[in-house]
Amino acid sequence: MSNNISNLFFIAANQFPERLAIIEKNKSITYKNLQQKVHDTSAYFIKKGIVKGDRVLVFVPMGIDLYSIVLALFNIGATAVFLDEWVNKERLQICCKIAACKGFIAPLKIRLLSFFLSETRKIPIKLSSTKTIENAIANGVDVDGNDVALITFTTGSTGIPKAAKRTHQFLNYQFQALEPVMNKVNIDVSMTMLPIVLFMNLGTGKTSVIADFKVTKPASFNPSSIFEQLNTYQVQELIASPYYTLALAAYMQSENLKLPIIKQIITGGAPVFPDDAGAISKTFPNTKFTVVYGSTEAEPISECNGHELFLEYHNLSDGLYVGEIDANCELAILPIHEDEIMPLDENDFTKMMLPKNEIGEICVTGNHVLKEYINNPEAIKKNKINVGGKIWHRTGDAGFVQQGKLFLFGRCKQIIHWQGKIFYPFLFESDFMNKHHVFGTIISDDNKPVVIIETPNEIALQRIKLDLMNEDKRYEDIEFMSIPQIPRDKRHHSKIDYDALTLLYKKTKKPFNQ
């Protein structure tokens, strides 16, 4: 069963049987006991009629049960279909229709509610998230590398969701690509707030501490309680989105607290501007600090030293530095346009590439770059390029390469062309953050730029506006608006949700705080 991605966990479990695998609030489990729980859960699924190739919708919060369930599905050759906990019922219905699942696993309350939704009601096998068959032995199913292990959906709130198809082979390649990034330092105990990353920890024998807060409610994130967890369990590594990492750093700075036990911090999933990196760097000066750039379809694309980002890359006119291109990636910069790119031969693709130092769309290929989506040919046409049989992924991000280093300028579709000038959102966002210490961006109103600043009142907005106009005459003809809170993506609570912000602006067409 060497192709089966669950084999990575079983190898670690046999190597470290008595080591704690997962610690969550009020309970923990060793690798040996988690291994048995995976066997017991596998036997339960088989008894209920789940077999190799079946898709099972998993709607279980991050915890020991979630990981035993998903590993059990991998083990028997079934496909785990992941939906984020915050998904609304309309989105849930669409995702269910795309995935065409045979099984649905969730806590009892959610299983009962599922009978009120047509698509979940159609799923024939309903499974408990806690039931098992004790002391079972369920040997792993041998799988082909191209058998689908995992389906995850993008976080977008509009349009048809993209269902990322991850095969066992793909997950093995992704593990191989991420392992050097994550294992730059010898780590025994890790806290990750990213559910997928915890699988990596289980494949390397680390102890994973689950942060004590609800990911569906970012406001429930309490830095003091997270600090206490990190200290209590002597956590050596923190892997989290920038929002949570920065909140912890701000709390520790305000209370003059230290965590010398932390050897490594890895953050990603959203832009990390130089001042953000500085806040983390000052709080953890002796910690290995890595910023990873990637996406659902390609992780990692590049990575950089966070300390170096803060100290050497403050000039954002050159774009946001995201490090050296990962060794597992081939990267090309193509002209920015929204149209589908038809299949090409390698020679024509090479001719299409922009010269170095010219800004265009970042495209990547590699064994760990996602090749296709489930039941969504339009998304494949829009996001993939077939080059002589090799599949390239269009990231939708603008950037350029200089001496092997990658710089970002923001989302391609957010770039504004107005009065002969080009407005790149990242440059404005970084300027607002690094010079004025406010969260803001620039959006398009019929291709006319509008600056949106996250401020509590109009007085604060006017002060920022005057400062900006004194620095740059471009701001004199641009509309300014304030908003109490700019919408952020639900997964990382760090990136700006441009679609939601634009819809909010168009709906109001007046200052958001009135």
pLDDT of residue 310: 95
Residues 33 and 66 both lie in one domain: yes
Count of the separate structural domains present in the chain:
3
Residues 365 and 487 both lie in one domain: no
CA separation for the pair 28, 38 (Å, rounded): 15
Which of 132, 156, 171 corresponds to the end of one domain?
Answer: 171
**Residue 318 counted as domain residue:** no
pLDDT of residue 494: 77
Q: Which residues pair with 148 in a beta bridge?
A: 167
Residues 380 and 393 both lie in one domain: yes
Residues 158 and 15 both lie in one domain: yes
Among candidate residues 406, 446, 410, the one with its CA nearest the CA of residue 428: 410
**Residue 139 counted as domain residue:** yes
Residue 373 sits in a domain of what CATH number? Answer: 2.30.38.10
CA 152 from centroid of its chain's CA atoms: 11
CA separation for the pair 319, 459 (Å, rounded): 30
Residue 83 sits in a domain of what CATH number? Answer: 3.40.50.980
pLDDT of residue 514: 44
Q: Which residues of the chain have pLDDT under 70?
A: 1, 85-86, 155-159, 509-514
Residues 363 and 428 both lie in one domain: no
Instruction: Output the six-digit token pair for 409.
Output: 């300028």
Which of 383, 411, 439 corresponds to the end of one domain?
Answer: 411
**Residue 278 counted as domain residue:** no
**Residue 234 counted as domain residue:** no
Residue type, 448: K
**Residue 496 counted as domain residue:** yes
Residues 490 and 376 both lie in one domain: no
**Residue 405 counted as domain residue:** yes
Q: Which residues pair with 363 in a beta bridge?
A: 332, 394
Residues 386 and 407 both lie in one domain: yes
Among candidate residues 214, 261, 221, the one with its CA nearest the CA of residue 238: 261
**Residue 286 counted as domain residue:** no
The residue range of the domain holding 364 is: 329-411
Which of 411, 427, 458 corresponds to the end of one domain?
Answer: 411
Q: How far, in Å, are 25, 27, 106, 194, 230 from residue 59 at the CA level?
A: 19, 21, 5, 16, 27
CA separation for the pair 154, 137 (Å, rounded): 35
Count of positions (residues) in the chain? 514
Residues 385 and 500 both lie in one domain: no
Among candidate residues 167, 162, 147, 170, the one with its CA nearest the CA of residue 377: 162
Residues 16 and 117 both lie in one domain: yes
**How many CB atoms within 10 Å of residue 339?**
7
Residues 424 and 391 both lie in one domain: no
**Residue 315 counted as domain residue:** no
**Three-state SS at 453:** strand
Residues 397 and 468 both lie in one domain: no
Residue 501 sits in a domain of what CATH number? Answer: 3.30.300.30
pLDDT digits (tens, 9 = 90+) for 456-483: 777 778 888 888 888 888 788 888 988 8
CA separation for the pair 95, 89 (Å, rounded): 10
Strands (E), 102-181: 103-106, 125-128, 148-153, 163-167
Residues 389 and 422 both lie in one domain: no
DSSP 414: G
